[in-house]
Amino acid sequence: MNLVLIGYRGTGKSAVGRQVASALGMRVVSLDEEIVAKAGKPIPDIVAQQGWVAFRDLEQSVCQRFGADDGLVIDCGGGVVEREANMTSLRQNGKVIWLRATPSTIVRRIGGDTQRPSLTGDKSFTEEVEEVLSRREPLYERMAHASLDTDDLSIEELVGAVQRLYRAP
């Protein structure tokens, strides 16, 4: 069974995913890195040149590919829940854990990230995080088998908690 980590950017999916994979002897797959490799260009370029629909199409094909695998820790991009087909693929052989954080924590952690295009256009970064989270939180909640607040936990604490959730029936 795969371990699938979902949540907004800056909630710890990549850092936790790498360490959990190491601790459990599993391979970690970053869906965003796989999309970049498949497209041959960074995500902001994909979106600027082809639009969000093309990016989501690439994401869907990558979800189908790795969702059918076994024994992976899958680090998902924050918007993976935007398409039902993505989560159908990832849930078929995966336990989905939603890593949560407050908007203020997210802004503090990733305020300088330039590897993702704006999701809302002309809003401030804080306003963007709040708006997108309000739209995605119900999707994360519906898709996740379990969730974990990451605001006040160290990486080590998160890794332990994710392992316990993954192993729980």
* pLDDT tens digits, one per residue of 66-101: 999 999 999 999 999 999 999 999 999 999 999 999
Q: Please, what are the domains in the chain?
A: 2-162 (3.40.50.300)
Three-state SS for 152? coil
- 98 within 8 A of 146, measured Cβ to Cβ: yes
CA atoms within 13 A on the CB side of 129: 21
Q: Provide the token pair at 113.
A: 């990230």
* CA nearest to 8, candidates 147, 152, 154, 169: 147
* CA nearest to 36, candidates 65, 62, 8, 13: 62
- Using a cut of 0.85, tell me whether the model's pTM lies above it: yes
